[in-house]
Amino acid sequence: MRARVFPDYEAMSAAAAHAVVDRLVEEPSAVLMLPTGTTPLGMYGRLVEMHRSGEISFSEATFFNLDEYLGLLPDHPASYHVYMKENFYGLIDADPARIFVPDGAADDPEAECERYQAAIGEAGGIDVCVLGIGRNGHIGFNEPGAPFDSRTRVVRLSESTRLVNAGDFEADRAPERAITVGMATIFESREALLLASGTNKAAAVAAALEGDVSESVPASMLKKHPNTTLFLDEDAASDLGRGVAS
Ligand code: F6R
């Protein structure tokens, strides 16, 4: 796992977008796995700009999202379906037949998890997995304690994650449960890019990069991954090298 530190959020986002585009230029039919949240918005913005200026087409790529809240219809404004449509999929030339987001409103969530996992397998696995990181070190919605051998499944969100994400919902909390791609599937990605911005991610970044590999810090699993790059702004990197990670 290597870290690249950029002066600010814009520079970090641009570099991450370029890393994705470089991969797609090499392999236009690459399979991408993508996150939602605040952090990747700058990267999506740059990717959309590059698409509009004719630098890149996404028409042959396949897209999987990492997660979705359980119980939200795909048109719920806080759903990750809507987020992705508004910030990325709806603004590029992606083929709708090759866009996959877990169905949080499925009648049988367990069957939906199996279907989603099978779809990833049928696509040949993930070429590039783009990740954010939670303040508690989560990746996808794999909260601390998530088994490293886990696959797509229904998970319970931690109280801290629900509070952080509460602003997207009218009630004061995010849903209790979500569907997430598991740790083993993330680990099997041929390349992983983890993006982090801001001082509120500094401790999690330091724990992942400098602490022990442990299921209590999910992102630390990536230390064992052969091709992971952290894209950090200076704030997110501000706890590195201080020996504060346990
Ligand atoms: C969301 C996801 C989460 C976020 C993480 C950071 O799809 O996979 O792991 O990446 O919670 O969220 P932000 O970027 O909002 O700080």
The Cα 62–Cα 18 span in angstroms is 18
Residue 168, pLDDT score: 87
Query: Is the confidence at residue 246, as pLDDT, over 50?
Result: no
Over residues 84-90, the mean pLDDT reads: 98
| Active-site residue flag, 225 | no
For position 242, what pLDDT does the model report?
Answer: 80
245 confidence band (pLDDT: 50, 70, 90):
low
Which pLDDT belongs to residue 244?
A: 56
pLDDT tens digit sequence for 124-175: 999 999 999 999 999 999 999 999 999 999 999 999 999 888 888 887 678 9
Mean pLDDT value across residues 102-124? 98
With bands split at pLDDT 50, 70 and 90, how would you rate the model's confidence at 87?
Answer: very high
Q: Per-residue pLDDT tens for 45-75? A: 999 999 999 999 999 999 999 999 999 999 9
Give the model's pLDDT for residue 174: 87
For residue 218 and ligand 1, the question of a CB distance below 6 A is answered with no
Length of the chain: 246
Please give the share of the chain, as a percent, with pLDDT higher than 90: 92
Quick: pLDDT tens for 182-215. 999 999 999 999 999 999 999 999 999 999 999 9
Structure tokens at 70: 């359980």
CA of 166 to the centre of ligand 1 (A): 13
- 17-55: per-residue pLDDT in tens? 999 999 999 999 999 999 999 999 999 999 999 999 999
204-221: string of b/e by CB count within 10 Å (b at 16+)? bbbbbbbbeebbebbbbb
Q: Which two tokens stand for residue 237?
A: 């990197």
**Distance from Cα 230 to the centre of ligand 1, integer Å:** 14
From 43, 66, 180, the mutation candidate for ligand 1 (largest count of ligand atoms within 8 A of CB) is 66
The predicted structure's pLDDT at residue 90: 98
In the chain, the percentage of residues whose pLDDT exceeds 70 is 98
Distance between CA atoms of residues 221 and 139, nearest Å:
10
Ligand 1 center–CA 235 separation, angstroms: 17
Residue 243 has pLDDT above 80, yes or no: no
Mean pLDDT of 74-88: 96
Mean pLDDT of the chain: 96
Q: What is the mean pLDDT of residues 95-111?
A: 98
pLDDT tier for residue 230 given thresholds of 50, 70 and 90: very high
Nearest of 189, 192, 200, 115 to residue 163 by alpha carbon: 200
State the virtual CA torsion across 157, 163, 165, 170 in degrees, nearest 10: 110
Work out the number of other CB atoms within 10 angstroms of the CB of residue 27.
13
For a pocket test of ligand 1, which of 33, 36, 163, 169 has the largest count of ligand atoms closer than 8 A to its C-beta?
A: 36
pTM score, whole prediction: 0.97
Nearest atom within ligand 1 for CA of residue 34: 7
Would you say residue 97 has pLDDT above 70? yes
Identify the residue whose C-alpha is closest to ligand 1 atom 1.
36
- Edge-to-edge, what's the strand order for the sheet holding 67-69? 67-69, 177-180, 153-156
